[in-house]
Structure 1
């Protein structure tokens, strides 16, 4: 049976990748920094160069360009360092090569908000809103889940006031923010214990949801076999030996 393949650009430790894999995709990750804990095939390279050389071998391209140009914590600069916005280049390359794509980033980034996901939609211990632009050529974007009301605040100190709540802050250190073990549990990411990788990751549940939508409604789902739902069930949740 043919399995869909996703090229995971700016892959970091593989939060997005694991969601695609759980939905039945074969995954190849690319990052300019070595990621020894990445649980799938990994290519050390510039993401845009890899996109030009490899993208047409895949059914889908997922890109999570660095968010520092947009996040409220840096707003494009940090102690004199300027961060480049790679989203426009990423989109242009996807359009040029005619590949289906998903671009993910933080609120405030310059992407279409085709889909907005939150940890509470999946019963997670983080809120972590993320926007997704989906370029599924010729088909509708994935269905937007209903945004469920948050059960309470994020735990930690803000403006001199400590609040306890059901969610942890999966960024930074101190001030009541989540530690490594708490972030692993809250986001369902167990294969890395590197603090910086966890703070940059998105929960696999997000991309598992997107991947299942792509399999059933995207171009791959529409053309690979007549019955996308049967195929989805057959590909669901393969086993993974993370020690191998």
Structure 2
């Protein structure tokens, strides 16, 4: 959604069916899809599964499951693809942290730090803002109140579906798992605008996020009728 708000036409790829996805969708392995659709896109964004690197896997859930680090294979395919790309993942992932984004940078009620490795174009980092307090919920038997919700997992004072939707600006899905795996569209809208303003379209392309959001609302009304 973020790239679409920035002005892109978007095609999504996932090995898992995503019936709530609001744009054209290809169900399949992202690595295979990237090879098969070579040359079709101006920018490719990849979000390999984060479980290999996330704090819960290395801490609370250590040893419960095994996960594969797909970042090296994805980077190799994207280098081969040869167009500007973005790889997104969590803090513990082995990728270049060319851009780090946080919900506080966009006035959101969620922190959700994510790092982005940028390939083949000169993206600019954005200054990080100090947090206004803790994430609300239980941590190690202690409850803390704060301005941010925990948009992951269940229980322990973590955000409800409605709270996660509002905090991240995601309203096209009410699936709890999809919300916990998502990043706020504000992140990719920012990166998409960075790409447009530093690339070949900068002189003549001016996206209109408000008009695009209005179009989403109209489509939702038609679907509900």
- TM-score, reference length from structure 2: 0.91
Alignment match of 1:232 (pick from 206, 212, 217): 206
Aligned to 2:7: 24
Q: Distance in 2 between matches of 1:159 and 1:46?
A: 38
**Alpha-carbon offset, residue 78 of structure 1:** 6.0
Report if aligned partners of 2:7, 2:207 keep a CA contact under 8 Å in 1: no
8 Å CA contact 1:64–1:104 kept in 2: the answer is: yes
Compute the displacement of 1:75 (Å).
2.8
1:163 equivalenced with 2:148 (yes/no) = no
CA shift digits 1:107-155 (9 cap, x unpaired): 01010000000000000010000000010x2x42x22111111111100
Equivalenced residue count is 217
Q: What SS class does the counterpart of residue 32 from structure 2 fall into?
A: helix
Query: For 1:64-97, what per-residue CA distance to the aligned partner results, in whole angstroms no more than 9, with x for missing partners?
Result: 0000000011139766431111100111011112
Please state whether the residue corresponding to 2:116 is helix, strand or coil: strand
Question: Hey, what does 1:3 align to over in structure 2?
Answer: none
Deviation, 1:56, is 1.5
Structure 2: distance between partners of 1:185 and 1:177: 14
Whether 1:200 and 2:181 are equivalent positions in the alignment is: yes
TM-score, with structure 1 as normaliser: 0.84
Superposition RMSD in Å: 1.8
Bigger strand share: 1
Per-residue Cα deviation, 1:199-230 (whole angstroms, up to 9, x for no partner): 0000000000000000110xxx22x4xxx154
Q: 3-state SS of the aligned residue for 2:166?
A: helix
Q: Detail structure 1 runs of 4+ shifted over 6 Å in the superposition.
A: none
Equivalent residue of 2:35, what SS? Answer: helix
Q: Give the superposition deviation at 1:234.
A: 6.2
Return the alpha-carbon distance in structure 1 between the equivalents of residues 92 and 166 of structure 2: 27
Distance in 2 (alpha carbons) for counterparts of 1:236 and 1:190: 15
Query: Is structure 2 residue 42 aligned with structure 1 residue 64?
Result: no
Which residue of 42, 47, 51 maps to 2:25?
42
**Unpaired runs of 5+ in structure 1?**
1-17
